[in-house]
Structure 1
Amino acid sequence: MEHSGTRQDSGRGTVALNDEWRLPGFTELEQLGTGTFGRVVLARQDNTGHVVAIKYLFSRFAADPAYLGAFRQEALALHRVSSPHVVRLYEFFETPQGAAIVMEAINGVSLRSVLMAEGALEPEAALAVLKGSLLGLAAAHSVDVVHRDYKPANVLVADTGESKLVDFGTAVLAGERGPSVGTPAYMAPEQWAGGQATPATDVYAATCVFFQCVAGHRPYQAEDTEVLRTLHEHAPIPFGEAPEPVHEIVALGMAKDPSKRPADALTFVGELERVARAGYGEDWERKGWSRLAKATGVLAAMTPLALLGAGTAAAPGVAAAGTGAVAASTGGIAAGLKIAIGVVAATAAVVGSVVVFSDASTPPPQAPPTTQQAVALKVAMKTRTGTVPGTNIAFSGDYPEVTGTTDQAWLKRVNDALAAPIDEWNRKTGPGAAKLEPERGPYTLLTKADVRSQNERYLSVRYSHDLANKPHPTWSYGRATVTIDLKEGKALTPEELFAPGKLTDDGLRILTERIWPDKEQCGPANSYFPYRPLKAVDLTTERKVWLAFTPTAVEITVNMTDLGFSTACAVQDYSLPYDKVADLLNPDLVAGVTGGKPMKGTSPAPPAQGLTDVSVGALTLHLPPGWSVQSQGLEKVIVDSSCPDPKKYFNCKYFLVTDNTEQSAEQPPYRPGGFYRRSAGGRACNAAGRKDLRQEGDAVPTTSATAPVGGTTATYEEWTIQCVPRGQTGGSGEAQVTQRIWFLADSQIVVMDEWRTPGVEELLRTATVS
């Protein structure tokens, strides 16, 4: 790559780079490199100050339909792929003067630079880099995109401790045949012959790069291209030159026959996890990134982005050097924001016409929208940490932040309301927790936010509060909800959630009867658990009841303990379809959340009428009538519609869904590559009809594959587990259960079924993954 102010253009002489078209609305900060067909620059968006990378197609190629089509195809491929392990495309611009891809700017270095400086990496570091970029490939494979040019130069090692995949310039749809393109040192045998592009082709290239990382050289080396082709097609796989614990990974990923390799990158991740744990221990990934940080630290500190962050106060999108932040990832464009309409309009005025897209599934806008918020508003999850004022108690709180309008008063009003539940929880709980330290601590106050619906009119968020190192691991704490009217720019009051005259004791009595038609609020109604209708004060003073709104149902959270019930009743969640409660709720709100247009790129489409949404982390299931949901600690129990009493689901068919990022002493996380045992005491063999036995005997994997879940791909495994008496570990038992496990590695969602529950596959296939 050249970095000077001129370049040699064959047949044309020297062409000044300054003659190249530039995207209006951006100021170039530094040229990152040039190639045969274009250049990449670091630039700041003028109206926001955010820093991005812009890839330009040279103007002389922009006039050629073939080159322009290939450049547009690269942008489309990038836009089809959504993953934290793939560099994000924010916008694609195409004008008569030129074409440009605006994308995420990463504070990091290429794996090629790392290998040039280090020669080879320690195995844990190489495995960590491979895993991240494989997850990027998995995201591409899940939408049928094959990269075709995985190489060290196309893997960025970010200073945040993750690897990202870049450059989809040669990507095609899976199954397509194409010319023999790629980088010869990493091309699979079928790629040399111009055969079908499949995910296994990318697996081969990724394994070649991994081999280079651990061996210090490419798997096959030759100056002559035809000799190199022969080696890739026929030479033995040199796995013996890699460290012994990873021999299996190299041999598996570089199989000559693509059918003998892992079918796709996500399957390969599962194999990698298994081999890495066996060879380097459970904390292999942490050790890998720790060791890689030393190798990349000096290189990353010298990148233009790091230097800019260290010395340019006028670049709010760039973190100061050494903070570990990914550049342009804290707001504006970097939060997925559509480039401001002013830039689009200015471009159109200059060039006469412009093609802009920020979502491959929708056509370019035909005319400027009537309001800025209609195109610009974007929601991104943020985390606040600190110490509760007046105490030494730490807190960590998640909350959604809205960006995309220049009305600062509007933004402050909305975002203050969205962050308020964190402050309320800290204020309510912090002083009491401080009195118990240090004898029972240390404590950390936790708040997690879950967006239940968002569109151009309403944003509804549910918050869950918790306490790290809480006195008893099964205790649950408070909730909160906030519903924002984005048109008015304010949080709705409890009165505004209800129809006129319905937030009364009489109206709440009706709501109570619809939540608990059997009057069993916490077990059978008796003198110990008396039936207690909700009252208006429960929603307005010392809140005990909260409402959140999804596209299909109102979700009602009730703090039973605060209502006077036993602590065992805890906090309970209920979901009522709108057709059961519409007469009690604000009709404009119901119409808005069920029929509003989703904000671009932020919300899934509402499910079909009659379905009920159930969300766990990034996964939303759309349950048909009759299915029900129960909570079991950190797990959601999805009970089959044939169950006569869903509250007593243990003898019914059901499956579990859980967010693996959440854990407690009683419910440790699921370990990918093993069977499901998310219970400190083991699981009972209910599915085998033996409650007296535990799933602690021998466990054998019988199936390993992939399966579709909500438009993406999950690893799928089946395990046969022996049921043995309590206290016995290992061995055979008197009965056995078969677990079916779906694992979404990117979002850390686990689904487990032991009952062969009918319809699970269809529910997962039609689910939504955000």
Structure 2
Amino acid sequence: MELTDEWRLPGFTELEQLGTGTFGRVVLARQDNTGHVVAIKYLFSRFAAEPAYLAAFRQEALALHRVASPHVVKLYEFFETQQGAAIVMEAINGVSLRAVLQAQGALEPEAALAVLKGSLLGLAAAHSANVVHRDYKPANVLVADTGESKLVDFGTAVLAGERGPSVGTPAYMAPEQWAGGVASPATDVYAATCVFFQCVAGHRPYEAEQTEVLRTLHEHAPIPFGEVPQPVHEIVAAGMAKDPSKRPVDALTFVGELERVARAGYGEDWERKGWSRLAKATGVLVAATPLVLLGAGTAAAPGVAAAGTGAVAASTGGIAAGLKIAIGVVAATAAVVGGVVVFSDASTPPPQPPPTTQQAVALKVAMKTRTGTVPGTNIAYSGDYPEVTGSPDQAWLKRVNDALTAPIDAWNGKTGPGAAQLEPERGPYKLLTKADVRSQNDRYLSVRYTHDLENKPHPTWSYGRATVTVDLKEGRALTPAELFAPGVLSDDGMRKLTERIWPDKEQCGVPTSTFPYRPLRSADLTDEPKVWLAFAPTAVEITVNMTDLGFTTACGVQDHTLPYDKVADLLNPALVDGVTSGTTVKGTPSAPPAQGLTDVSAGALTLHLPKDWTVVSQGLEKVLVAPGCPDPKKYFNCKYVLITDNTQQSAEQPPYRPGGFYRRSAGGRACNAAGRKDLRQEGDAERTASTTETVGGAKATYEEWTIQCVPRGQTGGSGETRVTQRIWFLADRQVVVMDEWRTPGVEDLLRTATVS
């Protein structure tokens, strides 16, 4: 039977050819039985009979199968038939970074940093799966219309530690890659830094017509970091170090360094500014992609742009295409099953036909920031909120997004006039609102808001909170009564809830003789709310403003996390079912925690605590007090662990800075672990360990620091004693865990954690 290079997978209708290469072609297609649009990468039939090429094609599919990340194009299925082989992938509406650079020449630093961060997170996911990409270049970075970048084309990927063939694109190949050395994540870091250099400088770091000359430059020429803006000298010099051991150990570590440099050089909102500027550069290109022109919804896949269209397609070069160089072949590790399908990724199948309500088809949620001046005052404000897009029903979108921005307006209206009357010498003042998405699926979006005042009269004061839970099916925010089972939003029902929150009746951590027990009332959730509920995948999170309830300011704002099995009888059963069943929890062997565990969350990290542990809120930190503490509420001489959402900060508690020890206190941390509350961790600090570890299935940087304890007011130098900090930092999710006690059981807590 004669084989044709125009063979097609049955069950798909081709919509557009996106690109062709020496070894294959990429098309945009619609799955006939679902209507879902995908990108299909075909290996030409004439190469299917050659083991080396077929093995390389299988290897690419296998690499995509291993790597799961929103920053990597998804694999749906890999087919192998008598006619040839095909990879069915996610379709993304966007353009390649190569096309952007061809149109723009260079990018502003914030835009280049934003693109680099997203694709580095894709590399980080690959590295956590022990996969090294080996061909990071502009053609393999996709800039999507959703304000994110994705990594594509794993045609040359291998497992970390494999020597394998010498493969890559010469303009971006690390010195060890030229020599056919062992593949490591640091190799990808080098290539990513070269691409970043090109983005901001407008040209590649080294250029030559002869391949051997280019090799010599990469191996021996000085790093040209002086040709990029001064704020990013550091990351270019580190990322392009000739010795791989001198580079960030992997992409996740590099993300931490990038964010630190970006904040220092371009401000806290560098990423928002970067994507805003990038949108202007990519808007025209994206508007001309086949998906937009066809009205196909979500769009195409990875790598080289189809001529004349600006569309992005999966790279069709395979091994040894264009500027790629290849020596040897990649070994196949996937087996043919029944001669047809090698494997499919059941965790990310093409969706079923869309539901009747249009807004459920392609909703997207992105964090936004709104800034301005409170009307009638001179007080500035900055408010974060999630914005929902993707529905053709503009009235529906307005209802949803008005509900999601309402907490900003309420905080500004309530606090702005009073802030304008504060002593001007303490200022300038600024109203702040931070938003934290607690759960998000096709039915519900639950968001928690934290309000604050910059340069507030007292640094320890806590301000208001708010929560919004949106029913995405109906397109509206739920009322307080709809959060509970029928009849529970009553004084009697709230009395039951109070007993679940404070079973010992010590609402401020002291006997009731000091602060009399005060059950919650229904009005506490409806009239000038003082109690708020947010819904996470495994627990309800309840925030109570104790001061507004009439307690002393020392009681502050309390956060309590109750697993659903402890309060299911009080909550709306449909809401709990929709939140728990609609969310896929990554990095855990089973979704809800075992009975008897308590969930404690900081940002995207949830730890499942055994019953003997105690949780205490300390400003923006959660203190997890280990079993055996005589007085867990006053834990000075007890072993404890701190977790914190690094996106939250205040004047008193600035964020953790990667690459340094953990302070999270403007006044310096006390040396509790050394038994010296009178000393501060402000002396000399030495990093004694640096590596990567796994937290809840996600990769985290791990460091140990030895810190000298010195009297208050002293900075640097040696002290009378010292403490050792252990720090786990999930850079892509901005969550920090810190332990100074070698607390027993902390490793088990991190291993069994949930990272969403």
The bucket for the TM-score relative to the shorter chain is 0.7 to 0.9
How many aligned positions are there? 700
**1:561 pairs with one of 532, 540, 547:** 547
Matched residues in 1 for 2:108 and 2:283: separation? Answer: 23
Matched residues in 2 for 1:578 and 1:607: separation? Answer: 10
**2:134 pairs with one of 148, 170, 180:** 148
Q: Tell me whether 709-718 or 183-192 shows the greater mean CA deviation.
A: 183-192
Superposition map of 1:61-210 within 5 A: 74=60, 77=63, 81=67, 86=71, 88-89=73-74, 101-106=89-94, 109-110=97-98, 113=101, 134-151=120-137, 153-154=139-140, 165-176=151-162, 178-184=164-170, 186-187=172-173, 191=177, 197-206=183-192
Does residue 570 of structure 1 match 2:560? Answer: no
User: Which residue pairs with 1:598 in the alignment?
Assistant: 583
User: Which residue pairs with 2:671 in the alignment?
Assistant: 685
Change (3 A) 1:769 1:685: same
**1:305 pairs with one of 286, 302, 316:** 286
- Offset at residue 572 of structure 1 (A): 1.3
> Residue 148 of structure 1 aligns to a residue in which SS?
coil
> Residue 533 of structure 2 aligns to a residue in which SS?
strand
- Offset at residue 141 of structure 1 (A): 0.7
> Residue 599 of structure 2 aligns to a residue in which SS?
strand
- Offset at residue 710 of structure 1 (A): 2.5
Superposition map of 1:186-265 within 5 A: 186-187=172-173, 191=177, 197-206=183-192, 223=210, 237-239=220-222, 263-265=249-251
1:84-111 deviation per Cα after TM superposition (whole angstroms, max 9, x unaligned): 7x46559779799976644444567439
Matched residues in 1 for 2:187 and 2:267: separation? Answer: 25
Change (3 A) 1:381 1:609: farther
Change (3 A) 1:64 1:187: same
- Offset at residue 684 of structure 1 (A): 0.9
User: Which residue pairs with 1:4 in the alignment?
Assistant: none
**1:472 pairs with one of 455, 458, 464:** 458
User: Which residue pairs with 2:731 in the alignment?
Assistant: 745
User: Which residue pairs with 1:613 in the alignment?
Assistant: 599
Matched residues in 2 for 1:465 and 1:26: separation? Answer: 51
Matched residues in 2 for 1:556 and 1:297: separation? Answer: 39
- Offset at residue 707 of structure 1 (A): 1.5
User: Which residue pairs with 2:265 in the alignment?
Assistant: 283
Matched residues in 2 for 1:492 and 1:290: separation? Answer: 29
1:48-74 deviation per Cα after TM superposition (whole angstroms, max 9, x unaligned): xx9x99675477679879778866764
- Offset at residue 541 of structure 1 (A): 2.7
Q: Are the equivalent residues in 1 in contact too, given 2:432–2:454 (CA < 8 A)?
A: yes
User: Which residue pairs with 2:682 in the alignment?
Assistant: 696
User: Which residue pairs with 1:350 in the alignment?
Assistant: none
User: Which residue pairs with 1:481 in the alignment?
Assistant: 467
User: Which residue pairs with 2:614 in the alignment?
Assistant: 628
1:150-189 deviation per Cα after TM superposition (whole angstroms, max 9, x unaligned): 3455457899999764433322343456443322455457
- Offset at residue 635 of structure 1 (A): 1.9
- Offset at residue 680 of structure 1 (A): 1.5
The one-letter amino acid of 1:673's match is: G
Matched residues in 2 for 1:582 and 1:419: separation? Answer: 29
1:201-248 deviation per Cα after TM superposition (whole angstroms, max 9, x unaligned): 4245456667889897766968366x987x69xx96334776699799
> Residue 283 of structure 1 aligns to a residue in which SS?
helix
Superposition map of 1:263-412 within 5 A: 263-267=249-253, 282-283=264-265, 300=281, 304-305=285-286, 360-362=345-347, 364=349, 368=353, 376=361, 378=363, 380-383=365-368, 385=370, 390-391=375-376, 395-400=381-386
Aligned-residue sequence identity (percent) comes to 67
Q: Which runs of 5+ in 1 are unaligned?
A: 1-10, 319-353
The one-letter amino acid of 2:467's match is: T
Q: Are the equivalent residues in 1 in contact too, given 2:253–2:731 (CA < 8 A)?
A: no
Q: Are the equivalent residues in 2 in contact too, given 1:696–1:724 (CA < 8 A)?
A: yes
Matched residues in 2 for 1:385 and 1:123: separation? Answer: 22
TM-score (norm 1): 0.72
> Residue 634 of structure 2 aligns to a residue in which SS?
helix
Matched residues in 2 for 1:304 and 1:574: separation? Answer: 48
The one-letter amino acid of 1:475's match is: W
Change (3 A) 1:709 1:150: same
Change (3 A) 1:75 1:608: farther
Q: CA RMSD in A?
A: 5.6
Does residue 714 of structure 1 match 2:700? Answer: yes
The one-letter amino acid of 1:304's match is: L
Change (3 A) 1:446 1:107: farther
Matched residues in 1 for 2:223 and 2:366: separation? Answer: 46
1:134-163 deviation per Cα after TM superposition (whole angstroms, max 9, x unaligned): 554323212222111134554578999997
- Offset at residue 648 of structure 1 (A): 0.9
Change (3 A) 1:698 1:185: same
**1:449 pairs with one of 430, 435, 443:** 435
Matched residues in 1 for 2:675 and 2:460: separation? Answer: 26
User: Which residue pairs with 1:724 in the alignment?
Assistant: 710
Q: Are the equivalent residues in 1 in contact too, given 2:135–2:191 (CA < 8 A)?
A: yes
Q: Are the equivalent residues in 1 in contact too, given 2:95–2:142 (CA < 8 A)?
A: no
Q: Tell me whether 619-628 or 162-171 shows the greater mean CA deviation.
A: 162-171
Q: Tell me whether 426-435 or 607-616 shows the greater mean CA deviation.
A: 426-435
User: Which residue pairs with 1:6 in the alignment?
Assistant: none
Change (3 A) 1:239 1:527: same
Q: Tell me whether 96-105 or 423-432 shows the greater mean CA deviation.
A: 96-105
Q: Are the equivalent residues in 2 in contact too, given 1:134–1:266 (CA < 8 A)?
A: yes
Does residue 653 of structure 1 match 2:639? Answer: yes
Q: Are the equivalent residues in 2 in contact too, given 1:643–1:652 (CA < 8 A)?
A: yes
- Offset at residue 738 of structure 1 (A): 0.8
Matched residues in 2 for 1:567 and 1:375: separation? Answer: 44
1:520-560 deviation per Cα after TM superposition (whole angstroms, max 9, x unaligned): 22253567633222222222333222223334433222121
Q: Which runs of 5+ in 2 are unaligned?
A: 300-339
Q: Are the equivalent residues in 1 in contact too, given 2:682–2:710 (CA < 8 A)?
A: yes
The one-letter amino acid of 1:238's match is: A
User: Which residue pairs with 1:495 in the alignment?
Assistant: 481
TM-score (norm 2): 0.73
1:488-540 deviation per Cα after TM superposition (whole angstroms, max 9, x unaligned): 66544333433444433233223323322333222535676332222222223
Q: Are the equivalent residues in 2 in contact too, given 1:80–1:360 (CA < 8 A)?
A: no
> Residue 667 of structure 2 aligns to a residue in which SS?
coil
Change (3 A) 1:448 1:356: farther
- Offset at residue 734 of structure 1 (A): 0.7
Q: Are the equivalent residues in 2 in contact too, given 1:388–1:430 (CA < 8 A)?
A: no
> Residue 149 of structure 1 aligns to a residue in which SS?
coil
1:686-744 deviation per Cα after TM superposition (whole angstroms, max 9, x unaligned): 11001111111111111121121232222221111111111222211111011112222
Does residue 532 of structure 1 match 2:532? Answer: no
Matched residues in 2 for 1:160 and 1:698: separation? Answer: 44
Superposition map of 1:412-431 within 5 A: 416-431=402-417
1:304-353 deviation per Cα after TM superposition (whole angstroms, max 9, x unaligned): 337899x99x99999xxxxxxxxxxxxxxxxxxxxxxxxxxxxxxxxxxx
Change (3 A) 1:168 1:443: farther
Q: Are the equivalent residues in 2 in contact too, given 1:237–1:254 (CA < 8 A)?
A: no
Matched residues in 2 for 1:713 and 1:114: separation? Answer: 34
The one-letter amino acid of 2:265's match is: D
Q: Are the equivalent residues in 2 in contact too, given 1:138–1:266 (CA < 8 A)?
A: yes
